[in-house]
Structure 1
């Protein structure tokens, strides 16, 4: 894949988020944007080499373009898992060098790998040699209190020599001690200028920026300096934003999507998942609770879709209950306490 293609594919993406960007979430996001690059949750090499591979790697063909994020620090294991990812049809293999959680550190991967750039380079080379799809790295601008630009510059330079052409950079340091993962997303200051400088110093690389990005205006501003933008929690909590991305960032015609159409597609997906895999609708619906964010009746609609008392009902009946609740003044509890036959009569 050429440089221009890489930059286009990475122009805007949804970040890999543990417990959030599973295959159901990605299917939902793909309904909203055809072109945004989507990422899996981080999957550890151990989970793939010793666990249930289909459970971790299965995805719907509609999810492309799709990247598999791996967690690990053993070149041979990462190469084997990269080959698995390519065989399953992923468009990109990404290695996590940015997660600061203690659990990840105990596995000797994530942000702590930034202190071992030669090891990361060995991992990348092993993966690049094993697969034909792009191998990319997601990392921070530094670790702990080391705020030197030279640290991240040298990290990128070392890893790029091993064959990595795309770097997704969270513009905060990762504090490996004393902060929770949530605090690591909020307390270390954002220093976007360091990511911009990386692009200046490595113009041949594709550089995408991540961290604290919540508006279209911010995305446009960043794209004046780097090749791509990765959006995290805002994409999850305010997913309707994605409906504008294809037109705004990829030159597609203006979206004709409606929230109602997207919800209907998700219900059809829930019905297919129930038949094909025995999946309940409840763990799927949780990903679309932000669909009506800011709309009249959104809170009532969301309460119905997240009401555990309705788990026994078919997804389509829950959708009708949610629509009724969103347009009615009665408390949601009234819908939940009534039988579906009564409410839908």
Structure 2
């Protein structure tokens, strides 16, 4: 719809200003109280009814001029405990040790701008657009909380976007099938028998047990999973021992597992527990494993992804559509699509000329704000075209 393109352009400067305000005032998981209020204030001004969710977040609805289906659009709002290193920008974070290092400030501003544009063509919409402003994506709890509070009740389709610095500005991707991996967390406590560092024969060295596990656990990936089914097992933290001349009695490891199928996830979980128990037993110690499920994989519905690709080509040109490979990063958008069709798109924001090519979660991360215009329009066009097709 050409009118939507014009409306997004009309609100572009407001969108950038809103994003910069959020960027200066980042809020962590389930602490997005100011952000929630700022979104609510704008929705009040444009006349879109909403309800707040607990403890933070907003679900708003725009009922079109004609009856029809319901499509949901989702944006996340939370920041990260990262120190911002972008000293040369006027809107640098004012909160020590906190910043929007993943683009959620841009997502919120883009969705709010799409809401403004859709409000102006409300009479032409056949159905209902639901706007989900979600908290706490970074710890994979927000989407579950929103779903529990009715975010997708009565929804026929759901669409989400992530700004992506690994793609050049002006490009968009919405692949069929796997997009983001599951993201689980595990911790392992190994127990040995401590003692004097000069008398190892009287001890069971927990450091030896933990080290052996770390060195051998990658065999779970190379020998116990299908080589055509990507899996990542990472031990990111190791806490062992108390002093240079004391044999460690305890060792604690923490790590993550990423994959694209629930069957593979289950197989890796069982293998990790087996490796831990048998490695500990080999040295005379014991192991206790805690495996916590994070996000499930984001698997784009084929019909929806192809529909999104059509919209991308029609509105931004054939060259704008690219096929970004699946990432083993996690995204709790997956909880919205467990029982509802939907898809998730990536909007490129990497631009070396504007220094916005830095990785997500880095202290130098930033967004090419021209890319936000594409994101806002894609939100709006997807909703309008889905309901009116």
TM-score by length of 2: 0.24
Between structure 1 and structure 2, the one with the greater Rg is 2
Between 1 and 2, higher relative CO (CA 8 Å, sep ≥ 6) is seen in 2
* Higher helix proportion: 1
The structure in which a higher percent of residues are strand is: 2
